[in-house]
Amino acid sequence: MSEFLTVIRPSPRFHLGLKELWDYRELIISLVEREIKVRYKQTLIGVLWVVIQPLATMTIFTLFFGRLAKIPSGELPYPIFALSGVILWSYFASALSGASHSLVEHKPLLSKIYFPRLALPLSAVCVGVVDFGINLILLITLMIGYGVTPHFTLIFAPIFLVLTMLTALSVGLWLAALNAFYRDVRYVIPFLIQLWMFASPVVYPSSIVPERWQWVFALNPMVGLIEGFRWCISGHGALPSLMLFSMGVILILLIGGIAYFRHIERTLADWI
Amino acid sequence: MSQTPIIQIVELSKKYRIRPRERYIAARERLNLILTRPWKAFRFSARETFWALRDISFEVEEGEVIGIIGRNGAGKTTLLKLLSRITEPTEGYAILRGRVGSLLEVGTGFHPELTGRENIYFNGVLLGMSKEEVRRKLDEIVEFANVGEFLDMPIKHYSSGMAFRLAFSVAAHLEPEILIVDEVLAVGDIEFQKKCLNKMEEVSRRAGRTVLLVSHQLNQIRQLCTRVVWLEAGRIRMIGPTLEVTAAYEKSITSEDERLSPGQRTSSQKGSFRRWRLIQPSEAPHILSTFGPVSVEFQLEINKPLRGLVHGVALMTLDQRVLWSTYNNFTSLKPGVYHLLYNFEMLPLNTGMYLWRVSLYDEDGLVDVWDGLPYMEVQLPNFQHMYDNWIGPMNLPHRKEVRYEESLYPTTIS
């Protein structure tokens, strides 16, 4: 008889199950691969879409917020300022919405086969990493075009990516679980993402928020991450002091999210 | 053998809520309830729940092939879902000592845009193989599925038969110590079904793999299983050697008292089929034991005048394969009771259980569809090949004759 042993019983309340998730890493990688492969099948210009979207957004933001509204962008030219915010934000937005829909979208898998359900939101937030990488190259190219030298701190970019990923995951877990029960959530997600963008320093610098409201502003973890990411690519500006605070918020949301998710995943197949 | 059983199931139970409308409760509705009657929002009274499985206990030794039978809703699929960890039991526990592979559906996770090869990899990993394992078995899988040159084509261009073959082939090459299979062989063409059955038989015999198999096809169960668990209304009705349990099960679904009440099916108020019986031969109303002429009668009750009627009848195997069917038109029928008679010169069927399905449609649509209960049992001498694999639904009496044609071989040699 083999070393494999499965005990099936009503499970204890609190259990993160991260080790099992590690055992299923090949499945998570396969899910990511599959999603990426499927995404641009039967499209005319395929991967070009990855760069068209941020470029178009950047152009519009530059026109309206940079030129017309004259929003300050510190020492960075506004297009670079906007694009750096946009690429991190669009990664975040796609990761969050992917994670939130991941359970409902994979309902057929959930009801027919066992795997740790966390694999779904987790792989959903990983899918956008490739697009982000391509966009980062685009950003660096444009920076050089605008005469902004990339700073050595650029090597920290992956840290900001990972933190953004965790932020998307922490909120995505809650939304994914809620979405499985209440399909209303599906309609809330795009709305939420849009509002959240305007509450984050994507088109404006966080310095325009009054001093005494800074801590409320920093409750939004994306504030520290976007500002931090700008600092890291250009060396301009400073790492926001409230970033540690944001990290704390993420950590609480994440642990809570995993615990809640684990709680509902046990009988998820009966509900969804 | 006094070894530890490979599967131990102890008082396994699963409770569900019966509130179909609650499946998609809108958040608003729930919120409303929380605000207005908070004490009610999170409580479900016993009336709203039911036990899909109750106190299931049994053990399985290594290498056994266990069949699970029972009517629809008896809890077969729930049991497999619990053992495959798709959902959790409410009470009780089960211990599985070995790598578990579960196959509740063939082709789970197949994506139409991906190629055959890409789908093989994803599906394999999903079923619990490592990528390396899939790579090693790729040629074997492709060969078994017989998809050859289509391997690098998106499977949306496959025929459904091909896609099924590919999917089953991946699953068949899984090498778990415990395999859980739900009714997956009910689809696909007959030839391939046979191939799959043989493959499963081969692996379970040779590799000593333990298998739990749900099937409605008692022939399959008899062919593959060493022991059978018969579930009824969430409990074990009987467990024991295959032939004993399947025979008892067949007897129970045949017996009169187990008949479904007419209210349980999709019939309109306009009319319904009431019963069926054999009126020739007349010894037993639901058992066929002659090669002679047969008359089958269906009783139909019409409640309202109906126009533009189409009446269909089909003789089917219990796994829903149609053996024969026909239909008739009636311009109109007035309310009353009708006897519809079908007279056959002979019904040369193989021994076993069969189903008469009758239907009636009027100009507005469905009036009634009824799967005639009890099933028809055929008890005839068998004129067929002795191996299960070569037994078909037809059981034709015949005369053998051998003729020697002399002209071809002149006898001048002597």
Q: How do residues B120-164 score in pLDDT, each as one tens digit?
A: 999 999 988 889 999 999 998 898 888 888 889 998 888 777 888
Asked if A7 lies within 8 A of B93 by C-beta distance, the reply is yes
Q: Chain B partners of A30 at a C-beta cutoff of 8 Å?
A: 121-122, 125-126, 131
Closest-CA distance of chain A to residue B105, Å: 7
d(CA A119, nearest CA chain B) in Å: 11
* Residue B118 φ/ψ, nearest 5 degrees: -60, -40
A174 min Cα distance to partner chain B (Å): 14
Phi/psi of residue A185, nearest 5 degrees: -55, -35
Q: What residues of chain B lie within 8 A of the CB of A33, using their CB? A: 122
Per-residue pLDDT, A194: 94
Residues in B closer than 8 angstroms to A183, CB to CB, are 24, 26
**B87 closest CB neighbour out of A37, A42, A269:** A269
Min CA distance, A114 vs chain B (Å)?
5
Residues of chain B with pLDDT under 70: 1-2, 18-48, 184-194, 204, 254-268, 382, 384-391, 406-414
- For chain B, how many residues are written? 414
Any idea where the domains of chain A sit in the sequence? 18-271
Q: What are phi and psi of B205, to 5 degrees?
A: -70, -50
Cα A231 to Cα B10: distance, rounded to the nearest angstrom: 60
What lies within 8 Å, CB to CB, of B126 at 6+ separation is: A27, A30, A109, A113, A115, B108, B109
Q: Distances in Å between the alpha carbon of B251 and those of B290, B352, B374, B379?
A: 20, 11, 10, 13
**What's chain A's length in residues?**
272
Closest CA to B26 of A64, A182, A158, A18: A182
CB contact under 8 A, A113 and B111: no
Classified as helix, coil or strand, A155 is helix
Q: Which residues pair with B16 in a beta bridge?
A: B50
pLDDT in tens, chain A (272 residues): 456 777 777 766 556 677 888 889 999 999 999 998 888 776 777 778 888 999 999 999 999 988 888 888 878 889 999 999 999 999 999 999 999 999 999 988 888 888 989 999 999 999 999 999 999 999 999 999 988 888 888 888 899 999 999 999 999 999 999 998 888 888 999 999 999 999 999 989 888 888 888 878 888 889 888 988 988 888 776 666 767 877 888 899 899 888 888 888 877 888 77
Positive or negative, the CA dihedral B14, B18, B21, B26 is negative
Contact B126 A26 (CB under 8 A): no
Residues of B in contact with A41 (CB under 8 A): 113-114, 154
pLDDT at residue number B224? 80
Q: What is the Cα–Cα distance from B221 to B218, expressed in whole angstroms?
A: 5
Report ipTM for this prediction.
0.84
Q: Which pLDDT belongs to residue B408? A: 62
Query: Taking CB atoms and an 8 Å cutoff, what residues of chain B touch A27?
Result: 125-126
Give dist(CA B128, CA A69) in Å, integer: 56
Neighboring chain A residues of B26 at a CB cutoff of 8 Å:
182-184
Reduced 3-state DSSP string for B100-168:
EEEECCCCCCCCCCCEHHHHHHHHHHHCCCCHHHHHHHHHHHHHHHCCHHHCCCEHHHCCHHHHHHHHH
CA distance B389 to A175: 52
Interface contact B113-A109, CB threshold 8 A: no
Q: Which residues of B touch A113 (CB under 8 A)?
A: 84, 86, 102, 104, 108-109, 126-127
Residues in chain B within 8 Å Cβ distance of A34? 111, 114, 118, 122
Do the Cβ atoms of B113 and A38 come within 8 Å?
A: yes
Residues of chain A whose beta carbon is less than 8 angstroms from a beta carbon of chain B are 1-2, 4-11, 26-27, 30, 33-34, 37-38, 41-42, 108-115, 178, 181-185, 266-271
Q: Which two tokens stand for residue B245?
A: 């349990």
CA atoms within 13 A on the CB side of A194: 5
Task: For A214, list phi and psi in degrees, rounded to 5.
Answer: -55, -40
3-state secondary structure of A76: coil
- CA closest to B9 among chain A residues: A8
**Structural domains in chain B plus CATH codes:** 1-99+218-254 (3.40.50.300), 265-382 (2.70.50.60)
**Residue A269 and residue B95: Cβ atoms within 8 Å?**
no
Closest to B228 (Cα-Cα) out of B244, B216, B204, B217? B244
